[in-house]
Chain A
Amino acid sequence: MIGCYDFCGHYDWTFDWLERAGGPGLVREYWEQAINQDSQRHARDLIQREGFAGMAKYWGHTLVEESPELGFAITEGKDVFRIDMHDCPSKGFLIRNDLASYQDYCDHCMGWIGPMMREAGFAIDHEHNHQGQCWWEIRPAGSPVEPSATGGLAGRHDVRLRPSWQAPGTALDRYRQAVDPDDKQG
């Protein structure tokens, strides 16, 4: 049986298998169809229906269940929903167990959340450092508002304040007004 306890391990392995079987496009299809439209349809329906309130309900529940040590913070502002992930339970599992089948596991979040937000009329500013730390700012698509300055929205909860955010050897991936994993700016 394939279990849920080590799900992130075989999920990561599956990305690599799909890429070998059908190239990068097949991985994108998988995130969009299998994860956004099927597995996470409860999140998709909730956010399409309730917008920011739906995001608060979905991530409030999911992150607490997956990260009971509360290695994250949620900040709700006017026309913005922000997540600061200080200790990603998913990437953290891979790091602790020395698993890295796929070239960039962190891409999977934009792979399904991006299309979900596009369908719901939102766009995403996002950075991740491949060490289990990232931040997300979700605003209505077409918003002229720039991403917040460090600490400007989340205060002391801003993950960018951590010394480890840009530790030597850490590479940041950046997205601006993105809805697709290939919107990555490097």
Chain B
Amino acid sequence: MYVYQEYDQQLLEERVAQYRDQTRRYLAGELSEDEFLALRLQNGLYIQRYAPMLRISVPYGLLASRQLRRLAHIVRTYDKGFCHVSTRQNIQLNWPAVEEVPDILAELADVQMHAIQTSGNCIRNITTDEYAGVNPREIEDPRPWCEIIRQWSTFNPEFAYLPRKFKIAVNAVADADPALIGVHDIGVQLVHGANGETGFQVWAGGGLGRTPMTGAVIGEFVPWQHLLAYLEAILRVYNKYGNRDNKYKARIKILVKALGADKYRELVEAEFAELKDGPMTLTAEEVDRVKACFTDPDYRTVDTAEVDAKLASDKAFSRWYHTNTRAHKQAGYRAVTLTLKKTGRVPGDITDEELEAVADLADQFSFGELRNSHQQNMVLSDVPADQLYALWQQLDALGFATPNLGLLTDIVCCPGGDLCALANAKSIPVAESIQRRFDDMDYVHDLGALDLNISGCMNACGHHHIGHIGILGVDKKGKEFYQVTLGGRGDKVSLVGEKMGPSFEADEITDVVEKIIHLYVEKRLENEPFIDTYERIGMAPFKERVYG
């Protein structure tokens, strides 16, 4: 992972001092609520329903075991002993005290972590494929580019007070969208030009939230040297012309849609023409410096005979292997996902002791590194096949081996009304109710690939729009209701789902999901996944089944 230089560390320490002073002035009454609001949000601190929430940045989801151990210490010391993996690959604390946040930041800075720009109207954490660097389908490792964008966006003086939040994702897989670039403010797609040179197709204007939509291609091929200049051009146009009167119309997607992609491109190209070939131009030397932080670990030759035998003889192990592990670019290795989705666990939640156990596993089995996924799971990316059985046994004991990755019960779910002040409805009990209804793992496996996402409000932290089945909590006259969308995608492509119809009460929603599933089972062709059946037969039969 990225190796901090002295200046990176210095910057974090100066940030801790700055934020400590800001907190002091707020507590002393020298900063108004509104003034401190903007400052604390840029530091990921929300004041929530019962307590503040602190969102800790995990750049493109990547964590080292020593950082996991520090997180364990922090959640034990400053919180209630658990934290939450968010859908933007970050870590959230649910119960920190405002006055202790500077101390938490100091603890984080010790291990090269921070909460910079994890909220507020600025450029947020850069996200990517949780299998970045080991995915056999990627054309190039996207992580160095994520890091280069991270540095450019960190305390970028021009873009700290944008009209609204701004999310950038990077994808390096040609025929799928594991980073969800289609629904980001900017999506960066790594491509190779005619002569094999690296470049980027740059999307803008995607986003979930209140007005979900997929973005448009603004830059067809941006040579790698000009990536930052191009991003800066997009941001400058947005900073100048994005709506600042109405926060619900302030995202870049509204501007791109209002102007049209062609006009937006024209404005960007005019800015870009000025920046191109200027001092922002990336140098091969700098790119190589960053790339050198993401070289392959010390892979060895792996004898797979034993694991092959285990796969043939141990059904439970085989199911886990085929569900929760993924192909690796390196022969003999697998990427292993720890599903934080066992029934009874709040999706994405993990305790201090579990963090420490996972850190040990990362050290023992995967070169001391781990990734958070946007599906709120964790990934050990480099596990030799001959260690898989031993790892599986340990994961099973920890409750991280539930073989449901990418299946119905691997529910993506925001904290919702149980914790979040923005939420209109609870989401965690809905997830649990669905998991309990579908408690037959054979049946869940028979259903196959199925993304079910739940958000407690239209801010869409649970990414409900891109769930094959999406559930959105809404408030009607003080009562919780749930709206269902079908046909969203965050897999091969990013697509916004279609609303099914009137919303349902909390005690109806699990039955509704079951009806949708039953219809799918009746209508599917052999080996046809849910989303393909939906795209083939459309909304009408589902609607008829549910409302009829």
Chains A and B are bound partners: no
